[in-house]
């Protein structure tokens, strides 16, 4: 059967694969569109398998929200170049929407969720690897489904935040999400800070004090140490930090004025915790040229 340009075009539109791959698939399968699409899918899975061990520490955080239900998904690529590719961005947005629609509890469940075109998220990931030529990983998924006010905020595709707010409004929730993105507080309130952390900080502050200060009456010494610890705790809690949209007030003061309370928040940053491979291309060229 003759492999016409219109046949190749039809297969490209259906699968998103490259022109030469579509032509090869049609040739291998005697021009059968369905068989060729399946062949490309299997080819994509094979390519995905080969690239699975390659470090993917770049990528994008994608968000999806409907009312008080919202999700964030971290999807990694090997390079920032691919992370900015329109095909990769479209894929990540589609995965986030699938996560929202399916209420997937984790990444493994999300992989089986269906996209609008009919393929699963995992099948679409394999196709994206074949098309973009890099390892692509769906690494993390966080979600909030609540009767409270929920905000989803993504900064530059690299940092994503979900905030659940009891009381207040959507504007305040979004402002708080922006604050969490910028300031990255490890904890919500002072009561959330581990006792071990507080004890360690007390130990450090005591060690830093002069012998003269240490000789002060116990009640005075306790007040000095408590003041220092309270300052440290404020720095590591959302409630204690100056609010980024009004640094004259702490987040706690802003919340009190609004009659609101942050129930919780979640923050994802692309590639955090992944050991990145730093490539020294100049050294590699020198080595290959026998100059190093």
Going residue by residue through the chain (292 aa), what tens digit of pLDDT does each one get?
678 888 888 877 766 666 777 888 888 888 888 888 777 766 664 444 455 556 567 999 999 999 999 999 999 998 899 999 999 999 999 999 999 999 999 999 999 999 988 899 999 998 888 888 888 999 999 999 999 999 999 999 999 999 999 999 999 999 999 999 999 999 999 999 999 999 998 888 777 777 766 677 778 777 888 888 999 999 999 999 999 999 999 999 999 999 999 999 999 999 898 776 555 556 555 555 655 5
Residue 115's nearest CA partner among 105, 130, 125 is 125
- The answer to whether residues 15 and 64 belong to one domain is no
Burial (CB count within 10 angstroms: exposed 0-12, middle 13-18, buried 19+), residue 101: middle
Residue 142's nearest CA partner among 64, 84, 90 is 64
Cβ–Cβ under 8 Å, residues 41 and 254: no
Residue 135's nearest CA partner among 287, 290, 277, 280 is 277
Cβ–Cβ under 8 Å, residues 165 and 259: no
Q: 135: Cβ–Cβ under 8 A, 6 or more apart, which residues?
A: 48, 51, 52, 53, 54, 55, 56, 76, 77, 78, 129
Domain that holds residue 227: 190-260
Domain assignment present for residue 245? The answer is: yes
Model's pTM, two decimal places? 0.75
Domain assignment present for residue 226? The answer is: yes
- Which of 89, 116, 145 represents a domain boundary (last residue)? 145
The 10 Å CB-count burial string (b at 16+, else e) for 114-141 is ebeeebebbbbbbbbbbbbebbbbbbbb
Number of domains the chain contains: 3
């Amino acid at each position: 059967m003759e492999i016409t340009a219109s046949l190749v075009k039809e297969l490209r539109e259906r699968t998103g694969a490259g022109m030469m791959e579509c032509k090869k698939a049609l040739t291998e399968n005697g021009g059968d569109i369905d068989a060729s699409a399946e062949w490309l899918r299997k080819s994509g899975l094979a390519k995905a398998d080969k690239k699975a061990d390659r470090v993917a520490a770049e990528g994008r955080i994608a968000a999806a929200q409907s009312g008080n239900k919202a999700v964030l998904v971290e999807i990694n690529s090997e390079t920032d170049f691919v992370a900015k590719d329109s095909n990769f961005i479209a894929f990540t947005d589609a995965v986030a929407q699938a996560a929202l629609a399916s209420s997937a509890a984790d990444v493994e469940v999300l992989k089986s969720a269906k996209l609008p075109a009919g393929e699963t998220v995992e099948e679409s990931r394999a196709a994206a690897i074949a098309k973009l030529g890099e390892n692509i990983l769906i690494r993390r998924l966080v979600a909030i489904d609540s009767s409270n006010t929920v905000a989803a905020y993504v900064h530059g595709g690299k940092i994503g935040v979900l905030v659940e707010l009891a009381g207040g409004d959507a504007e305040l929730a979004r402002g708080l999400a922006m604050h969490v993105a910028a300031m990255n507080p490890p904890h919500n309130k002072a009561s959330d800070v581990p006792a071990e952390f507080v004890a360690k900080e007390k130990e450090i502050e005591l060690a830093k004090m002069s012998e003269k200060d240490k000789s002060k009456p116990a009640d005075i010494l306790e007040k000095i140490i408590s003041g220092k610890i309270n300052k440290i705790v404020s720095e590591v809690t959302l409630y204690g930090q100056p609010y980024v949209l009004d640094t004259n007030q702490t987040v706690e003061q802003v919340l009190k004025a609004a009659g609101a309370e942050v129930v919780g928040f979640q923050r994802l940053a692309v590639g955090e915790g992944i050991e990145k491979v730093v490539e020294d291309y100049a050294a590699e060229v020198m080595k290959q040229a026998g100059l190093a």
